[in-house]
Amino acid sequence: MAPDGALYLGLDSSTQSLSAVVLEAVGGRHRVVCELSLPFDETLRHYGTRHGVLPNADPAVAQSSPVMWVEALDLLFARLAEQRLALNRLAAIAGSAQQHGSVYLNDAAAIGLGALHPGRALAPQVVPLLSRPIAPIWMDSSTGAECREIEAAVGGADLLAQHTGSRAFERFTGPQIRRFARREPAAYAATDRIHLVSSFLASMLIGGHAPVDPGDGSGMNLLDLATLEWWTPAVDATAPDLRARLPALAPSAAIAGRLSPYWQTRYRLPKAKVAVWSGDNPCSLIGLGLFREGQLGVSLGTSDTVFGPMRTPRVDAGGKGHVFGAPTGEFMGITVFSNGSLARERVRDHYGLTWEGFSRALDATPPGNGGALMLPWFVPEITPVVAVPGIRRQQLDEGDAVANVRAVVEAQMTALVRHSRWMGVTVDVIHVTGGAAANRQILQVLADVFGAQVRRLHVGNAAALGAALRALHADRLDERDSLTWDAVVTGLEQPSPDRIEPIRQHHDVYVAQRERYAEFEQRALR
């Protein structure tokens, strides 16, 4: 049992913001005592990001700034120190980060990370440790050629998927590393360690190179799910001498190190444990309380994702989905859509609506939208792969604002059903998170399209909450007082979730509409 008053911090470095959730242990249970969030665009304007991404003339390129993430981390701890929290009782920290993004460090980092001066800001001290000033992120779709080369070199897409859980995907770290090594060989040669966003930020906290966990490592096209080691054929197919540049691997529940002197001195913090960080989707799995096969989660964030626990890795034969490691030590199936909140926002902005107006448009239109359909590919899409973005409409007038609002939401929810079937999960309950989960009308469409009850938690950021729960779990395990995941999840004191019930007649309309949507999608792809 965690000692009364012990605090556990979960951080989430997502595409658009850095967030924190703090849990306090009381009487063998735990409750949320603080939630904070720093949106990058508004808080750190000087980096010039838009929705957390650096501007680029090429729509296929998506990059962000590792220095910005570090500055956000410094700022977040400053904000935390201002809260009424007994941070001297901080027992452990764990983190979540957007997946796939990579950070390139030179050989000064191994020592430099442990020698940060607490009297000075963090960001300028990190600049000289980078061999590449930018980080490619998950929205990048510029590596099609590299994907095909890697697949060919290892013996085909299917073999790569059987080992790493996914065929080669543009945003995955391996293809991104290959592109960098080829286009900037000198900078690649000067790279001593390639981190994921998760292991990079964990390294900042412990003052040395942190390991990668199986959850985030499986988003690289480099990790063998059967052995949880780097898969040599993929490593060799990706870039020269890559093995020596990859971080160590460690279970998600391991302790990576202790909060380094920089943080202890600068923010008067104890030498808290830092658990291995993971990806945002694996962390959301725990934040939503999902640890048994058969459960399903949906995250409506910058990306829309649908995921669920898996006992043993069962790869998608259709090549759309992924198998990642889960924080429990088992696995998770996931399908990812890049046209999530950005697509909803584009439609909202195009028709000059507020989010209230967006919801009213959903109220004002019938399920099925009178047969109107949209393929909302505002940015290059991951599922199905659409390299050149474009909006397609069928029986839908562009001038009809309310019908376009319904069309984007129905398309997204239909795609979630269609492209998650490979997981073979029969659902009656969907656990939902992400910014758009605040919108009840969107959740009604989700419930109706799936024909399942939708449950929404009161903590908005399931990834940060999942990270905080992981910190608690890792700390107890480290103290040889291991808690089951059931106890970790059910021990969280929180108001009961909002429930949105599916409406039978609406579901029937959507079942009939699925085929038309599938045909429309197929035709557009041809």
Report the interface residues with ligand XUL, using CB under 6 A: 14-15, 98-100, 138, 171, 219, 279-281, 303, 305, 336
State the Cα–Cα distance between residues 20 and 35, nearest whole angstrom: 6
Alpha helices in 306-429 (DSSP H): 341-350, 355-363, 401-418
DSSP state, residue 249:
B
**Which of 37/99 has CB closer to ligand XUL?**
99
- CB 428: neighbour CB atoms within 10 A? 11
Sign of the dihedral defined by the CA atoms of residues 126, 11, 98, 257, in that order: positive
Least Å distance, CB 315 to ligand XUL, is 15
**Which of 300/488 has CB closer to ligand XUL?**
300
The answer to whether the CB of 505 falls within 8 A of the CB of 41 is no
**Which of 24/140 has CB closer to ligand XUL?**
140
State the Cα–Cα distance between residues 233 and 239, nearest whole angstrom: 11
Measure the CA dihedral 233/234/236/239, to 10°: 170
- CB 247: neighbour CB atoms within 10 A? 20
Least Å distance, CB 279 to ligand XUL, is 6
**Which of 70/90 has CB closer to ligand XUL?**
70
State the Cα–Cα distance between residues 411 and 399, nearest whole angstrom: 18
**Which of 137/362 has CB closer to ligand XUL?**
137
Least Å distance, CB 482 to ligand XUL, is 28
DSSP state, residue 53:
B
Least Å distance, CB 394 to ligand XUL, is 28
Least Å distance, CB 130 to ligand XUL, is 21
Least Å distance, CB 198 to ligand XUL, is 10
**Which of 109/315 has CB closer to ligand XUL?**
315
Least Å distance, CB 61 to ligand XUL, is 16
**Which of 65/99 has CB closer to ligand XUL?**
99
Does an H or E element contain 257, and which? strand 255-258
Least Å distance, CB 186 to ligand XUL, is 29
CA distances in angstroms from 386 to 301, 380, 464, 526, listed in the order given: 20, 5, 30, 11
**Which of 257/282 has CB closer to ligand XUL?**
282
Give which of 143, 84, 148 is closest to 387, Cα–Cα.
143
